[in-house]
């Protein structure tokens, strides 16, 4: 894996929010969502309430901003990043986040021992548009990019030649622009080791 340049999205790829969405929605809106609800289920349920879209937007700002420190790393991500680093890969976090939520994300990465320890601070990039995010993938010359959103890989400007890994437990029905789909970081690690080691 020497000299391999890996780009990684942040939201829902390194950090996961489902449990936090459930607990905050229950507290903020007197709901009784089950612990195993997903972010999407919370969103869909809130949108059915009066002023539901406004409620959903407010909840997102809380989760991605002030309350982000309660969010947990995705299972296996820290071990995978550690092993990639040991193998000599260059790690980049390249994400799309509005300017007002970027500082909170950086603080979370430092608090969880990712920024500075696993990924160099100058290899962490938060971009205010999806287009700028993809430009950064190009500028950093990523060999591999890992993201939870199909739409990122579907962008016409996404560079050819980059190995595109969708982080999702549910493979898309028509993955035209995706090379591989994995639902756990252990599987991503195994794939990259087999594909790029040596």
Residue 47 has pLDDT above 80, yes or no: yes
Q: What are the beta bridge partners of residue 144?
A: 6, 163
Q: What percent of the chain has pLDDT over 90?
A: 93
Considering the domain architecture, whether residues 31 and 123 belong to the same structural domain is answered as no
Question: Tell me, what CATH number does 150's domain have?
Answer: 3.40.50.1000
Considering the domain architecture, whether residues 157 and 179 belong to the same structural domain is answered as yes
Is residue 148 within 8 Å of residue 13, measured between CB atoms? yes
* Of 128, 114, 11, 28, residue with least CA distance to 65: 11
Single pTM value for the model? 0.94
- Count of the separate structural domains present in the chain: 2
pLDDT of 174: 78
* Residue-number span of the structural domain to which 51 is assigned: 18-70
Considering the domain architecture, whether residues 58 and 95 belong to the same structural domain is answered as no
pLDDT tens digit sequence for 48-105: 999 999 999 999 999 999 999 999 999 999 999 999 999 999 999 999 999 999 999 9
Considering the domain architecture, whether residues 66 and 77 belong to the same structural domain is answered as no
Of 55, 70, 85, which residue constitutes the final position of a domain? Answer: 70
Q: How high does pLDDT run on average in the chain?
A: 95
pLDDT of 135: 98
Considering the domain architecture, whether residues 27 and 110 belong to the same structural domain is answered as no
Cα distance between residue 113 and residue 31, in whole Å: 33
Is residue 149 within 8 Å of residue 9, measured between CB atoms? yes
Q: Tell me the helices (H) and strands (E) count for the chain, helix number first.
A: 8, 8
Considering the domain architecture, whether residues 41 and 10 belong to the same structural domain is answered as no
Tokens of 197: 């080691």
Considering the domain architecture, whether residues 190 and 137 belong to the same structural domain is answered as yes
Looking only at the bridges linking them, the beta strands covering 15-16 and 72-73 are antiparallel
Q: What percent of the chain has pLDDT over 70?
A: 98
Only one residue has tokens 């962490």, namely 124
Residue 198 has pLDDT above 60, yes or no: no
Considering the domain architecture, whether residues 62 and 160 belong to the same structural domain is answered as no
Cα distance between residue 197 and residue 193, in whole Å: 5
């Amino acid at each position: 894996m020497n000299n391999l340049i890996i780009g990684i999205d942040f939201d829902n790829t390194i950090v996961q929010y489902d449990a936090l969405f459930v607990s905050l929605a229950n507290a903020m809106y007197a709901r009784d969502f089950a612990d195993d609800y997903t972010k999407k289920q919370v969103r869909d349920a809130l949108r059915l309430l009066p002023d539901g879209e406004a409620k959903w937007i407010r909840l997102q700002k809380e989760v991605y901003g002030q309350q982000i420190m309660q969010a947990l790393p995705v299972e296996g991500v820290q071990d995978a990043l550690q092993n990639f680093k040991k193998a000599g890969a260059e790690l980049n976090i390249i994400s799309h986040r509005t300017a007002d939520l970027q500082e909170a994300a950086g603080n979370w990465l430092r608090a969880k021992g990712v920024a500075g320890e696993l990924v160099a601070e100058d290899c962490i990039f938060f971009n205010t548009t999806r287009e700028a995010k993809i430009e950064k993938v190009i500028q950093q010359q990523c060999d591999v990019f890992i993201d939870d959103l199909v739409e990122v890989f579907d962008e016409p400007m996404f560079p050819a030649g980059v190995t595109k890994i969708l982080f999702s437990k549910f493979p898309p029905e028509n993955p035209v622009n995706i090379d591989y789909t994995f639902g756990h970081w252990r599987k991503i690690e195994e794939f990259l080791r087999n594909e790029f080691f040596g």
